Amino acid sequence: MAAWVERKQSLVYGSDDWLPRKLVLVRAGGTCPAPFQRPTKKQKASVAATASSSTRALNFTLHITSHHGIKSQSPSPMASTTPQSALSFPRETFAKLSPHPYLRAHLQPTSATATPTRANGRSPSQFRTPHINNGSLTHADGSAVVRIGDTTVVCGIRGEILLTSKVPGWRADKAAAEPSSGAGYNEIKELDLLVPNIELATGCSPAFMPVIPPSTLAQDLSTKIYSLLHSTNLLDREDLRIWYQPPDLSDPDRMDDDSEDDEETSASEIKAFWALYIDILFISLDGNPFDAAWAAVMSALKNVRLPKAYWDPDREMILCDDSVDKSKKLSLNGLPVAITALVFKAKEQAQSKDKKYWILVDPDTFEESLCDESVTVVVDCSEKKTRILSITKSGGTIVGREEMKDIVKLAEQRSTELSSILNG
């Protein structure tokens, strides 16, 4: 018998045209940096870009002389005519050989009017376009696929049941009395109801291979997501509670029952909690894992539909109803958006009057390898006023008050862009 097979549309990647990004990686639409000319005597190897009318065929020329080791830069036409002293590389080779000058060459404005452009064709404050696709995974209660540039993340959330009888030291009256009984008591945190884990060992990048226990970066990211989920108070704890209301036995027919017991029997109690397992898998990694992972978590949380759960007193277990109408979504408290920015320093330009650093938002892997200082800001602009939920800064000494203000402004911009996608 002959086999029949058809092509279909992808659920995970959605309708958005999913081009193999590798093919358009070089420069998609971005303008090419103008050739830069900066004769510096101190430079170990002076670097020049030969001007080329074609944007694709831009060659960078590295001059190396055996006599001094240093040679001041010669004009581009000469470089091409004297192959003995000049090695001409395609841009990829130049980027690999001397990544730092390569990125600086892109950012350094050649004229007053030119705007600095990064090696990936974006301006320093330009984010990559996000694509979000929800609910494509069958076995997850909520799921999202987020693609930001070449970084692709899948997040799946599953609800499981934690019986209060299994919680050590749980007393029914504690929560039944009033949720806010103990000041500062947060059962979502105390009982560990949110379980985020990030997996990088999916072959998403050559740096993370399977079989190794989670890398430091994966642990770091998991912990960050975990603490951010708790510190933002994102989830309503009522959503995660499963109540039981014992039937009212004080029927009019049975008036002889003790009326005192009624109070106790009809008091509803928490029988169980939903624990949310949030698993975040990277399919592809090209920088900025945290922002993408957080966007995926947010989007998946918005997508969660927990079935209606109830306590069955006869079977003494929690049962769920499988109808969609009775299931409910989580009510989220705000819509936090994370943005990460890196500071790129021009190391060898300490004396010159030129701008010494650039703040690059939404960095890719190449930029991440060249920058030490990083700032992550989490803002929530869902209400009128912007709330800053978290600021994390590490490494370097450049970012001060002014720079931080700029980054927060950028975060606000990004937040409006992302939340329209997250909500829509």
Binders of other proteins among residues 152 to 171 (CB under 8 A) are 152, 154, 156-163, 166-168
User: Residues 173, 260, 322, 402: which binds other proteins (CB under 8 A)?
Assistant: 322
**Distance (Å, rounded) from C-alpha 145 to C-alpha 134?**
6
Question: Strands, DSSP E only, in 264-327?
Answer: 269-284, 305-306, 308-312, 317-321
Amino acid symbol at 65: T
- Taking alpha carbons only, the member of 37, 40, 58 closest to residue 111 is 37
User: In sequence order, which residues have a C-beta less than 8 Å from that of residue 212 and are 6 or more positions away?
Assistant: 201
Nearer to other proteins by Cβ, of 60 and 274: the residue is 274
Nearer to other proteins by Cβ, of 204 and 381: the residue is 204
Amino acid symbol at 220: D
Is 191 a residue that touches other proteins (CB under 8 A)?
yes
Amino acid symbol at 183: A
What single DSSP character describes residue 212?
Answer: S
Nearer to other proteins by Cβ, of 12 and 114: the residue is 12
Q: Which residue in this structure is represented by tokens 């000058």?
A: 101
Q: How far is the CB of 183 from other proteins (least distance, A)?
A: 23
For residue 42, CA distances in Å to 38, 48, 63, 129, 238 come to: 11, 15, 14, 40, 65
* Segment 290 to 309, residues that bind other proteins, using CB under 8 A: 305, 307, 309
User: Residues 315, 384, 385, 401: which binds other proteins (CB under 8 A)?
Assistant: 315
Secondary element (H or E) of residue 211: none
User: Residues 41, 139, 385, 401: which binds other proteins (CB under 8 A)?
Assistant: 139
**From 39-47, 290-298, 317-325, 415-423, span contacting other proteins (CB under 8 A):** 317-325
**Distance (Å, rounded) from C-alpha 222 to C-alpha 218?**
6
**Distance (Å, rounded) from C-alpha 95 to C-alpha 287?**
17
User: Residues 49, 62, 103, 199: which binds other proteins (CB under 8 A)?
Assistant: 199
Q: How far is the CB of 363 from other proteins (least distance, A)?
A: 14
Is 203 a residue that touches other proteins (CB under 8 A)?
yes
**From 66-74, 284-292, 355-363, 377-385, span contacting other proteins (CB under 8 A):** 284-292
Is 120 a residue that touches other proteins (CB under 8 A)?
no
Q: How far is the CB of 273 from other proteins (least distance, A)?
A: 8
Is 223 a residue that touches other proteins (CB under 8 A)?
yes
**Distance (Å, rounded) from C-alpha 136 to C-alpha 111?**
48
Nearer to other proteins by Cβ, of 43 and 215: the residue is 215
Question: Strands, DSSP E only, in 107-240?
Answer: 130-134, 142-148, 151-163, 194-199
Q: How far is the CB of 241 from other proteins (least distance, A)?
A: 14
Is 187 a residue that touches other proteins (CB under 8 A)?
no
Give the x/- contact pattern for other proteins in 348-387, rule: CB under 8 A. Answer: -----------------x----------------------
Secondary element (H or E) of residue 90: strand 86-90
The alpha-helical segments, DSSP class H, found in 304-400 are 365-368
**From 113-121, 205-213, 335-343, 353-361, span contacting other proteins (CB under 8 A):** 205-213
Q: How far is the CB of 262 from other proteins (least distance, A)?
A: 29
Residue pair 85/63 in contact (Cβ under 8 Å)? The answer is: yes
* Segment 13 to 32, residues that bind other proteins, using CB under 8 A: 13, 18-23, 25
**From 6-14, 75-83, 107-115, 243-251, span contacting other proteins (CB under 8 A):** 6-14
User: Residues 44, 262, 319, 387: which binds other proteins (CB under 8 A)?
Assistant: 319
**Distance (Å, rounded) from C-alpha 423 to C-alpha 208?**
33
Q: What are phi and psi of 246, to 5 degrees?
A: -65, 145
User: Residues 281, 359, 371, 379: which binds other proteins (CB under 8 A)?
Assistant: 281
**Distance (Å, rounded) from C-alpha 422 to C-alpha 194?**
21
Q: How far is the CB of 394 from other proteins (least distance, A)?
A: 21
